[in-house]
Structure 1
Amino acid sequence: MRQIRINTICTVSITASVFIIIAVLVAYVSLSSYRMVSGVQSEALDQTARLVAQSAQNYIEQSVDVATILAGQEHVREALAGSPRAAEEVQQMLHTYVKSFPSYWSFFVFDVKGRIVAGLNAALTDMTGGDRFDRDYSKAIFSGKDLAFSGSVMGATTDPTMLVYVVTKAVYAPDGSLLGAVSVCPRWSDFTAKTIDPIRLGQRGYGFALDTRGRLIAHGTNKKLLLKDLSGEDFIARAMKAQKGVIEYPWEGEKKFMTVAAIPATGWLVCMSAYDAELAAPATEQSLVLCGVGLAAIALLAGLLTYINQHFVFRPLRALSSFTEKVASGDLKAEMQGRFRAEMAAFAGHLRDMVEELKQRLGFSQGVLDGIPTPCGIVGPDFNMIWVNDEICRLLEKTGPRDSWTGQRSGLFFYDDAGRETLSDRAIMERKSLSLEFDHTTPSGRKLRVAVHTTPFYNLDGALLGSIAFWNDLTEIYNQKSRIEAQNETIARAAAEASHLVEEMAGASRRLSEQIDHSSQGAREQSTRVYQTATAVEEMNATIMEVAKNAAATSQSANTAKQEAQSGAHLVTQVTAAVQSIHEEASRMTGIMSDLGRQAQGIGTVMGVISDIADQTNLLALNAAIEAARAGEAGRGFAVVADEVRKLAEKTAQATTEVRQAIGGIQQGTTAAVSQMEEAGRRVGEATDLAHRSGEAIAQVVHMVENAGDQVHSIATAAEEQSATSEEINRAINSISDIAAATDQAMSQCTAAIADLARQARDLEKLIAGLRSGA
């Protein structure tokens, strides 16, 4: 069979490739044009939907502003508070609004019971008295919302073809309580007639709007569908769920696009719908033109590319193929033949650099492996040895050239058992590094303790190349460890014996310390008791001295008292005369206080009359204020004056009450003073009689003081003798206290010595514990 030349293959391939490229290009451009046109048209649809939705939002916000202005009117609050006159004024104001705002169907105000207190529609029908309690917007206001919208549009009462919606604003009293609400009803049909109905997308596209329940509230072409529930349609359900964006759906066998935009204030949706065929018509025409141009370009490009590829691509490629074949067969000294142009020259240069780099890397890798001083071997992915160094051959007692061991099973090389799985085999299978310490016996019977660490390695593409294993001989380290452990056991036994002795010594120290503490405590108690006795003797001695001193002083005082008693008898006579004078002055003061009480009663009577006058003035001011209120604006000034008079009367009544209370206090004080002065007179009489008796008693005191002086002199002499005896007792007790203090000091020194011994025992015990832990 004749072999097909690469030139023929390339020519056919290039022609087919050019055809495919042109075909793909035409298809891509056609598809891109279609997508671009569809995207532009979809964006236009979406932009239109957003603009209409924004217009609807602005229209609704204007309605909110109108409702807010009405809700802020003072007459509206007064009407909702129950003022009939204010209700009439609000009705007149709403009549003006209906005439001034033709885009609104009605305005009305309702209270917290839902009853309309004022209202008017475009037909000038009075809506007063109507009930709006069960409407969704009124329920929202009653539940605490400040602003509410109707859930959907509705037909006007007098004109069902006119669709309206309701915007409701809450009205509050100055104290914050809800009085009711103001509702305005814009004409939704007028808005859609200007914004949605005129829109045409292509030949059959149109716009429409949906409320939150999926009812159609606007349609650009079919008004019969208004207020019809379309929520059961799949594309309507998708639009209500998405709330925005572009939706593709089939309709009567054709593909349609629909863009959706939400009105933020109400949640209603504005939709723009158009047929895909009408939107993509320009792209279809462009695709037909591109197909014709593409077929003409295919023939021209195929011939040109075939000639260029033959002279500038395939001939240099054959030369490069010959060179790479030689290198692949192991001839790293092969030379590249031929002439190369453009990118082929760069390709040839890169290929030469690649071969040189390959030589460098192979030489580097071999040098690294030969320089490893640790016993090492490499196991291939097939679990055979692919490289070993001299160190591992010596460790495992392998004789002969190291190259003779390559290609052997890893189990046979390491353990002389071809069926045994090695740690490197496991690392290759598990594709992770592994480490293991174990005992190994060489062919000569030598026992080794080795640590093996093996790590898989990969090429740059992630393909497994093998696992390199390092064997470390730990035999000497483990022998040293055994010797250290034996020494530690010896130290631990000695430490255990020393610890036992330390514990016994510490126990004896504690017992001795407790006995010394007990003896020291007894000495301290003895010293304390002796000190208390000495203190008591000193206090007794001081008391005796004080008695003697007081007895002497008392004797002297008795003589002085005798003289003073004699002087006192004379003074009693003078006191009697003075008390008689005080009695006479108290009688006169009693009469004066009685007169003062009668005068205070007269003042109280006058203040009662003033209080009655203030009450009458207050009553007259209140009547004047009532009459001024009835007079309206004309009596407003007089009402201010009457209010000032009423306040003055209240202040006068308050002042008279305070004065009356003060006079009452004076009357009570004078009455009490009269009683006290009478009592004082009686007491002065009694004092006069007592003064006479005192004179007689003082004479008897003079005689008794003389007898007491003699007795006190005898007591002073006995106290001085007792004081000398107590001084001798105090000196003996001080000697006993000094002996007890010396005993206590000696006991304290013994306690310190025992504590120091116990501390040294604890330090020794810690040292032994450290030796145990180190062992």
Structure 2
Amino acid sequence: MTRPVLALLTNVPIGPRLVGGFFLIALICAFVGYWGVRSMNKVNAMLTNSSTNLVPSIYAISKMRAGVLTAQRAERTTLMAIRAKDEGVRLSTVSAKETAWRNIREGTAEYEALPMTDREKHLWAQLLPRFDEWKRDYDASETAVRAGELDRAERIIYSEIPNATRLNELLSELIECQNEQAKAQQDQAVELHTSTQATLWSISAVGVLGAVALGVVLTVSVTRPLGRAMTVLEAVAKGDLTQRAEIRSRDEVGRVGHALDTAIGVLQTARERDAYYASQIAAFGRVQAVVEFELDGTVANANPNFLQMMGYSIEEARGHHHSMFVPEAERNSPAYREFWARLARGEYQTGEFRRVGRGGKEIWTRGAYFAILDLNGKPYKVVKYVTDVTHLKKIETSLEQTVESLAGSARELTAVSQQMAANAEQTANQANVASGAAEQVSEHIGTVAAGTEEMGASIKEIAKNANDAAKVATTAVKVAEKTNATIAKLGESSTEIGNVVKVITSIAQQTNLLALNATIEAARAGEAGKGFAVVANEVKELAKQTARATEDISRKIEAIQTDTRGAVEAIGQIGKIINQINDIQNSIASAVEQQTATTGEMSRNVSEAAHGSGEIALNITGVAQAARSTTEGANDTKLAADELARMAIGLQQLVAQLKV
């Protein structure tokens, strides 16, 4: 029976299938809830009756009964306290009476406000006359007590005992009536709880069994084909695309199985296509450098060709930014930031790029940057295919420089040819003039030769006089040196005389002191020493004169020393000047000797020039003819230079077209 049910369920969509199962469970739950709510409403009604009627009625009657009993006790206690003259007890009964009557009034009002059963109404109708009669007797006894008629009050109290007893009995019967109602409701609640519990357990058991059975059937109807689909998906995850789900049901799982089989077929086709493309890319990567970047420019991977070209290993390159391959001046430029911004937007970049390899090596590349899109069409990485064109760039640069040099040389050759033409024409003109001048030169050279011989004789005389002057200067130098030595000795002698004068000055000072001492001693001797004092005074005057004379000699010696130093310096200067004169005379003598030799050579050269000037006149005519030939050659050179310039321009255009 299970298989037909499963076959039936698998043809029903999972949504209605699950909704039906949940609806059945919800129906069971709804019935359970309804029965539970029905029972709870009954219990709630009982509880409401208890809380709003029975309990307040019992509380109100109990309050009324407590008030009556308290008033009766206080009535008797007041009478006994007055007779015992116990004022404290009497005053306490006053407060008790007020509380009792307040409870009686509140209990009566609360009970009358509540609903009553027929029995309660019957008991209440009997209680009210009894209460009025008891209250009338109570008021009469209170009046007698206030009037001091204690015996009369006591008789009234004893006379009301039967009525008060009946009043208490009626109140007790009312309380008992409320208790009976509460007991009856409790019995009903217990019975309702028992029946509801049995019903709910039965319904719940049926619902649980039905839900389990329905859940098993629904689960099997879904999990069995899903298990088959999962097995196939796991095989696909492992790379096995030969498995198929082959689910024949018409529900969602069946459609998923059919879609899975279709997707596996598409994947198998895509794998074959990817294998084909991968083989092409691998072959392409073996001959070209390839590098992958994240969208922010971080290196993700690179093939060996790229790493070899840049000089890095994959560990050194991976994780670093593309800027490590870019010249430093370009890294922070707006153009470089825009370059990566365009790639991040999915655009591509192609062209020649100047890059930097390990150690700052300049590398020129030609390639293309492509943004790789994900399944949603959004860029998620960048791939660059690049070729090293550094050697081509060097060849191109060298060729450009060569072409530029060739063009410059052509321009220079054109200018030189023009200048040659002009110079050749001038040469021709000057050659004609030089031909006439050469004849005049030949005539004048003869005159120069004669003058040269006379100048040679004069130079010989000058050389003889210069040698004599040099000898005199040498003698003057020697005499000046001797004079300088003599004056130096004179300076030394004056210095020694100065030293002697200093000694004499010292002796004069000592003599002056001795004369002063002698004068002092003569003064002490009185008359006996007057003659000695005269002698001492004379000695003193002589010492002063000696001191003045030595000072005068010292000044003169200093003047002599000063003059001697000046003479020494002057003679030294004279010696230097004489040495300079001697050097100059020697130089003149040497120059005259050289001039003599030069003059002799000039004489010989002038003779030869006189002989060669005639030949010059003959050769200048040939120069004029050669200049005319040079003019014609310069014109031909200009034409060739113009043709060379045109060839250089064409070569530059060709190089521009051949740029990689």
Is the TM value for this pair above 0.5?
no
Structure with more relative contact order (C-alpha pairs < 8 Å, separation 6 or more): 2
Higher helix share: 2
Higher strand share: 1
Larger Rg: 2
TM-score, scaled relative to structure 1: 0.24
